[in-house]
A and B are shown apart, each in its own frame.
Chain A
Amino acid sequence: MIRITCPYCGSRDHAEFTYVGDATKERPPLGAAVTDRRPWHDYVYLRENPRGPHLEYWQHTHGCRTAAAPSSRCCAIP
């Protein structure tokens, strides 16, 4: 019933998508040795759940299957 605009497939029903979650979380950089668990714990587990506009990732699993890239924030809807 909710329409989501996929950048490749256009406006599709939300049932074609899989909810991935909060798009405002910043993934900590890889590469360096992880000396502090807190940024990873925050990224993986903590959520704000605002009452109001919520920027989200939805993956078009029953369509083009575009993976939500952390940097491009594709398919994020307000």
Chain B
Amino acid sequence: MISLKYDIPFIHSLLKEVKDPEIPVLNIADLGVLRDISEENGELVITITPTYTGCPAMDTIEADIKSVLNTHNIEAKIITSITPAWTTDWMSEEGKRKLENYGIAPPAEKTSDKSFLSGNSKPVRCPLCKSEDSVLLSQFGSTACKALYKCRNCQETFDYFKCI
């Protein structure tokens, strides 16, 4: 049996300390940004994927990964891969719960539903008052991954994490 140099589950738990810079309640595992931790020729290789092609948080996330590993004297090669393409389907249920508690409505459906693009999408629940009587204000919100909604019940606006 070949023994590995690195304790992968331990590394995984370390990397869960790396948060999304924009949505600090989510870590990169919740988001599905962390794709793989493996050992290749004695080298630790970590694969991450950007949510959107232009996501400006990726440099920060890479730096944070290096930093967290550094505190344990671990070095790694970090690879950014765009395939398979990131999808909100990879967001964990816990991640969705954390999002809603933070005040951002999580993706309402699976991308296989496709209804989100035709306009016949599932109603989006207001993260504040939980009413489903909400209306889309704009397809684009404070970051590339979010849209802007307004709740007709409590009158507050909120961000919605778009299905992609």
A complexed with B: no
User: Which B positions have Cβ atoms within 8 angstroms of A?
Assistant: none
